[in-house]
Structure 1
Amino acid sequence: MQRLLIRQCLESEGMRILEAQDGHEALDLVANNNPDFVFMDVDMPGISGIETCRHLRARVESEDTPILIVTGADDQETIDLGFEAGATHYITKPLNWPLLGRLVKYMLRSADTYKELKSKEDHLRYLAYFDHLTDLPNRRSFTEQLRRNLVNSEKNEGQTGLIMIDIDHFKRINDSIGHERGDLVLKKIASRLQTCAAEIGPIASEYPGAKKTYPLDAFALEIARPGGDEFSVIVRNPYGEEQLNQIAEHLIDCLSEPIQIPGHTLVITPSIGIAMAPDHGRAPEELLVRADSAAYAAKAEGRQRARMYDSSIAYDSAQELSIEEGLRHSLLTTGLSLVYQPQVDLFTGAIIGAEALVRWEDEQGNAISPDRFIPVAERSGLINELGDWILNRVNADAKAYAGQLPSKMSLAINLSPLQFNQSNFVERLTSTLKQLEIQYKIALELTESAIMNSGDDSIGKLHQLRNLGFKLAIDDFGTGYSSLNYLRQFPLNTLKIDRTFVNDLGSESGNAIVNAIVSMAQALGLDLVAEGVETAEQATYLRERGCYSIQGYLISKPVPIDELARLCQHDFRATVGLDSEDG
């Protein structure tokens, strides 16, 4: 009779009612129908309402379902038992029928509010610990995973491997196909890493020494995306460095397979750094620094490879610090100097420009290669000070030898991509120019990758530089994008043909590449300078194809400013294969 009245009361409020005869039937009913609300008596056949409540709360599907229990015993002990079992609310008999429907509606609204709050909490937890693009653990989660693994491995006298994966030239890929498609590539990389990890697990026992130290079930891989184009793999209980190297090689093979996205088939390659605890550190920060150092070494060795951290990398780090300290000191004192490699007009034999190149000798008189100290300057932040020093020195040399240098010649300065891509680069350069009285045309030489990496932002910067009076040249042309669509948008003056293509002149492929570059420059209305010219035959071929000027050992090696001034008085027509009456 009571169930009938309850049904009528709740149906009058617009609710659909399901009934059970006892506790066992109630459990089945809830499991099969997933109701929004459960209302039951403490006293029921089979199992009591309190026991039924306890069973319901033990199930995932009903752990948050609001449960109202009714009891005829208005005593604190029964009520406490009900709440301990998981009841949401209770009422006592006799029931207040007018209030019952309102109470149930209130409990349903409260349940909806709770679910909404719980959903927001779950979402916040997801945002805090997972990368929204790839659904992989983020940097925060990764750091906690690494710390947890290191603690466990030290407790169990085990090992933890850390594999840091950096995607080669990803910014270039991202900027060339757009950020939306770049994000799609990152998602595919994440998916492929998960597939690779699933493949590695079952074959872990096949690695040398796999069964000698740990049981197979102690081995595991945990993937994360700390940020950007960087991914990480924590290897729980690896069997040694050899196994970690083999895992890394497997990852390289997996990631180097072509990736298909709408409109593109891309081949991406990873550079991988590996470190292992406790051999390379016991704290997360130590292991991270060493795995990152190993990844940087892998890039320096040619990319698309893996490198295990070792003492030579530690030595390189110490050497880099020494170079940074020495360079910082030389910027304030002496040790830095400039040499100039002249550029000759192939139709007149006259010097029309020169490229300024920085040289450095440390306090012991040792010559440090620019290939060593320029990257250090970039990573340490000294590149801006070095750039200011070069511009000031070029200006000082030009003023000192103004009467001995051709009035229309240009002096070229190489720009680091790091300099150019800094947001305040143009403002900083403008401030430096205000302090100088430059009498000669200054050409700024940039690599293709430097201007391609920033897309539309580069176009704006290049226009600003042209407005400041600089000539703009693309150095080492042909080794980067060589995109006609991009280049036509850039306010450039000159393309410089890379020396590797000049060296190949005489071969079918070498001639074809140079011819294509000359045609591209002519289509864009750009001047051409060929680098690395060493023979008169090369000079003749370039002139006949429409390249107007060259630099290289055929003319001169890089020389100090006084020697450049002397060379400017020389006639190079015979050197470049011109007859005396030509030009």
Structure 2
Amino acid sequence: MATSLRFQIQKGFSRLVTKYAILSGSILLLLVAAFVLYTTRSNLVSQSDIVRTQLKSQITATLAQADTLIRSPVLWTGLMDSFGRETYLKPLLKQLNRNEDTKFVLLDYQGRVFVETPGANAEAVEVMRQMLPAVNLETTAVQLLRAEHDNDLLLILLPITSPLSDAPLGYLMTQFSVTSSIRELNVDDRLHISFNLQPEFASPMSWWFLSENYTDQIVVGDYKLRYDTRYAMSLLPNMVMLFGLLVMTSLLGYLFVRRTELWLSAFAAQLTYQLDQLVRYAQDIFAGKQVEIESEADRADEIGTVVNTLEALLLEQGRSQERLRKLAYEDPLTGLPNFVRFYELSLLHLAESAQASRPLTLLFVDVNQLKHINDIYGHEAGNKVIQASALLLERSLPQPCLVSRRSGDEFIAWAEIDDHQLYRLSESLAAFDVDYQNVSIPVTLTMGAARYPQDAQVFDDLIFCAEYALKQAKNRARNTYAIFDERLGLRLIRNKQIEERIATALRQCEIKPFYQPKVDMVTGQVAGFEALARWYDPKLGWIQPDEFLPIVEHLRMFSDLTNCMLTGIFADVDKIVARFPGAKIAFNASPQDFQREHLIDSILDYAKSQPHGLANFELELTEQDIAGLDEDIIEKLNILIQAGIHVAIDDFGTKYSSLSRLTTLPLHRLKIDLSFVSNITEAKGEEIVRLIVSLAKTLNLEITAEGVETLRQRDLLVACGCRNAQGWLYQKALPLSELMNLPTVLLPAEKSNDV
């Protein structure tokens, strides 16, 4: 979607400001978060140092006091004198237990409370009693007890001994309240302290806590006490504060961006004012409006220069559009509508004709021998012929009509004419002369016609029918016309059916070789055969070569046809040679066949499997094919000749070839085309045949005449020096099954050419 320059400037600056605001806010939040994290950790470290110092000093003092007590003669004397319990020990313990955080409990050697101690924890006494077996003269028992109200009690059990006994007289249990000692310090409420006698804490802290772990050791006399503490401080209040700061920053950033967008809108409008003027001028110019430049802009500045340029461009654009329209819809040589324009206009007219029930005739017209005219007189003369033909068509067709140049030498047109008018039109268009540089060039036209609606109701089908009629007219004779009718329609349908089925027929080798004998006309001896393609389809019946061969050529499937024929010939050759010793089998091929390596390879592979190679085969190439052979194909041809195959020129004299070409190619036979044989009864025809025979003998080539049908033709050919021939006078092409019953000597028999 297109956007204005003003909007682009506004959006560009707005994005820049927004990115700056987001970046600034993000950096500020990161700095605040880093500061909060730093201060929290610093607070955690400082307060943990205070607590550690407090705990270490109090536990050290408690342990030192206990160590001094158990070494006191008063204590062990009181334990041995049951009467001294009230006199010595009670006052002593009462004085020691004045501190609420620390309690000393005196146990006898069996772990019973020797002197009642107010404030002592009964659960702690029971825990210590269970640990008596682990206590001896050299060890102490230390236990951490989690009492009520999350009160952590550090319990230390020390044995009491005397110089007079090796066994403990009793035990002194020291109960130190870790929790109470910490509370006295009034530390930060966010500080969480864990006390543990194990090397590691059982559970990790949550992710929103900062924590520090410490290990401390106290040594008093012979006693060592190791403990771990963990100090953690919650970040949740800081996170709440940061979230509030984020919300406030976002709100302020949003207000800042909105305020900035308003300012940017005004700034972009001021910046693009003159450009907006220029756009309006350009739009008005291309819309064909009168441009009125405001007085403040009516000067020789950049805008005025651009406006003048736009006016010049507009003028040139009009000229260019007209030229493009002509290129898109007109033929540059004749000025007629081209086929695209003709097709569009014809569809509109056909719709009108259908509503009015008016008949319409579509014409395809071909200029005959235009290439020949170009070759003889030059392309400029050919252009004059095209222009004259276009002018003649426009003048000859009654209105309403439309004429278009379809391609190089073809025109297409429609007019509302009947068959009688079409006949008169064909007479007037059949032949005319074009004067070019004082030379009169004869021109003939061939025409095909199709009628709407009787031949086709769709315009594309009507074009197809008219074009098919033109092809039939050109096949029949030049400078004539043909109207598409039911007969042509049936032929068209049959051709379509043949085209649909021919690929399968070639792939499955349904096209078979039939063999026409070549005969020595003097002795009647069968000298060889020519393999001719014959096709019987279960659905279409017998399909004549003149029906399927043009389709094979159109589909460029001659190589497939050659391969199909060779497959049948290779299967039949042994039987034919056995029945007619020394006979050669001729088959047709084209230079395009030699472009396919596998075809050559298949022929050579067959030659290797035969004792005589390809000695029983003869390859027939037309005179036109011989003229177009390149060095690569000649090399491949020589490979086949070395394998034993003979090469013959088929239909000699119908095209053109160089005599030097005939002398340099490895040829063995020359075949006289049936068109010369059919005219041999005339003086000039006989003379032409004598010249061809003389040429063949000069080149040391064998000679065979094609299409011999009468005894008169046979006698004249023999008199001219040609002994070998093939044709209906001796036999038509036969399938292998009938060929095997044919005698080796054939007698001439004039008869009709029924299949």
Q: Per-residue displacement from partner, 1:231-269 (whole Å, max 9, x unpaired)? A: 21222xx14333234323322234xx4x67799986554
Report the CA distance shift for 1:157/1:542 in structure 2 as closer, same or farther (over 3 A): closer
Asked if the contact 1:184/1:261 (under 8 Å) is kept, the reply is no
Report the CA distance shift for 1:518/1:362 in structure 2 as closer, same or farther (over 3 A): same
Corresponding position of 2:383: 187
Q: C-alpha separation between the residues in 2 aligned to 1:427 and 1:225?
A: 42
Report the CA distance shift for 1:131/1:465 in structure 2 as closer, same or farther (over 3 A): farther
Aligned length: 462
Letter of the structure 2 residue corresponding to residue 152 of structure 1: E
Report the CA distance shift for 1:170/1:196 in structure 2 as closer, same or farther (over 3 A): closer
> Quick check: 526-535 or 327-336, which moved more?
327-336
Corresponding position of 2:490: 315
Report the CA distance shift for 1:517/1:264 in structure 2 as closer, same or farther (over 3 A): farther
Q: C-alpha separation between the residues in 1 aligned to 2:314 and 2:442?
A: 48
Q: C-alpha separation between the residues in 2 aligned to 1:275 and 1:562?
A: 46
Q: C-alpha separation between the residues in 1 aligned to 2:337 and 2:656?
A: 38
Q: Structure 1 residue aligned with 2:351, among 151, 158, 175?
A: 151
> Shift of residue 393 of structure 1?
1.0
Listed as ranges, the matches of 1:105-120 within 5 Å are 110=310
Corresponding position of 1:4: none
Corresponding position of 1:463: 634
Q: Structure 2 residue aligned with 1:371, among 546, 549, 562?
A: 546
Report the CA distance shift for 1:128/1:79 in structure 2 as closer, same or farther (over 3 A): closer
Q: Per-residue displacement from partner, 1:19-72 (whole Å, max 9, x unpaired)? A: xxxxxxxxxxxxxxxxxxxxxxxxxxxxxxxxxxxxxxxxxxxxxxxxxxxxxx
Q: C-alpha separation between the residues in 1 aligned to 2:529 and 2:593?
A: 29
Letter of the structure 2 residue corresponding to residue 463 of structure 1: I
- Higher relative CO (Cα under 8 Å, sequence separation at least 6) belongs to 1
Corresponding position of 2:208: none
Letter of the structure 2 residue corresponding to residue 188 of structure 1: K
> Shift of residue 143 of structure 1?
2.0
Q: C-alpha separation between the residues in 2 aligned to 1:151 and 1:126?
A: 25
Corresponding position of 2:690: 515
Q: Which has the higher strand share?
A: 2
**SS of alignment partner, residue 533 of structure 2:** strand
Asked if the contact 1:163/1:274 (under 8 Å) is kept, the reply is yes
Q: Structure 2 residue aligned with 1:343, among 515, 518, 523?
A: 518
Are residues 1:163 and 2:363 paired?
yes
Corresponding position of 2:228: none
Corresponding position of 1:414: 588
Corresponding position of 1:244: 422
> Shift of residue 92 of structure 1?
2.4
Corresponding position of 1:141: 341
Listed as ranges, the matches of 1:48-59 within 5 Å are none
Listed as ranges, the matches of 1:191-230 within 5 Å are 191-200=387-396, 204=398, 219-230=399-410
> Shift of residue 355 of structure 1?
1.0
Letter of the structure 2 residue corresponding to residue 177 of structure 1: D
Asked if the contact 1:186/1:229 (under 8 Å) is kept, the reply is no
Letter of the structure 1 residue corresponding to residue 570 of structure 2: N
Unaligned 5+ runs, structure 1: 1-73, 205-218, 576-583
> Shift of residue 286 of structure 1?
1.9
Corresponding position of 1:18: none
The alignment's TM-score, normalised by the length of structure 1, stands at 0.63
Asked if the contact 1:249/1:306 (under 8 Å) is kept, the reply is no
Letter of the structure 2 residue corresponding to residue 234 of structure 1: W
Q: Percent identity?
A: 26
Q: Structure 2 residue aligned with 1:234, among 408, 411, 414?
A: 414
> Shift of residue 501 of structure 1?
2.4
> Shift of residue 508 of structure 1?
1.3
> Shift of residue 422 of structure 1?
6.1
Letter of the structure 2 residue corresponding to residue 302 of structure 1: A
Q: C-alpha separation between the residues in 2 aligned to 1:261 and 1:472?
A: 46
Q: C-alpha separation between the residues in 1 aligned to 2:404 and 2:343?
A: 10
Asked if the contact 2:405/2:412 (under 8 Å) is kept, the reply is yes
Letter of the structure 2 residue corresponding to residue 230 of structure 1: E
Q: C-alpha separation between the residues in 2 aligned to 1:321 and 1:511?
A: 42
Letter of the structure 2 residue corresponding to residue 244 of structure 1: L
Corresponding position of 1:177: 375
> Shift of residue 164 of structure 1?
0.8
Q: C-alpha separation between the residues in 2 aligned to 1:307 and 1:227?
A: 20
Are residues 1:501 and 2:676 paired?
yes
Q: Structure 2 residue aligned with 1:430, among 600, 604, 618?
A: 600
> Shift of residue 298 of structure 1?
2.2
Letter of the structure 1 residue corresponding to residue 637 of structure 2: R
Q: C-alpha separation between the residues in 2 aligned to 1:495 and 1:93?
A: 94
Report the CA distance shift for 1:107/1:541 in structure 2 as closer, same or farther (over 3 A): same
> Shift of residue 352 of structure 1?
4.5
> Shift of residue 447 of structure 1?
4.6
Asked if the contact 1:360/1:369 (under 8 Å) is kept, the reply is yes
> Shift of residue 224 of structure 1?
1.9
Q: C-alpha separation between the residues in 2 aligned to 1:286 and 1:103?
A: 58
Q: C-alpha separation between the residues in 1 aligned to 2:651 and 2:283?
A: 81
Report the CA distance shift for 1:528/1:106 in structure 2 as closer, same or farther (over 3 A): farther
Q: C-alpha separation between the residues in 1 aligned to 2:726 and 2:717?
A: 12
Report the CA distance shift for 1:85/1:223 in structure 2 as closer, same or farther (over 3 A): closer
Are residues 1:276 and 2:451 paired?
yes
Report the CA distance shift for 1:276/1:496 in structure 2 as closer, same or farther (over 3 A): same
Listed as ranges, the matches of 1:76-87 within 5 Å are 86-87=289-290
Structure possessing the higher radius of gyration over alpha carbons:
2
Q: C-alpha separation between the residues in 2 aligned to 1:138 and 1:490?
A: 49
Asked if the contact 2:511/2:565 (under 8 Å) is kept, the reply is no
Are residues 1:90 and 2:90 paired?
no
Q: C-alpha separation between the residues in 2 aligned to 1:170 and 1:489?
A: 33
> Shift of residue 356 of structure 1?
0.8
Q: Per-residue displacement from partner, 1:517-565 (whole Å, max 9, x unpaired)? A: 3355456665432113356765564355454632234554434447667
The alignment's TM-score, normalised by the length of structure 2, stands at 0.51
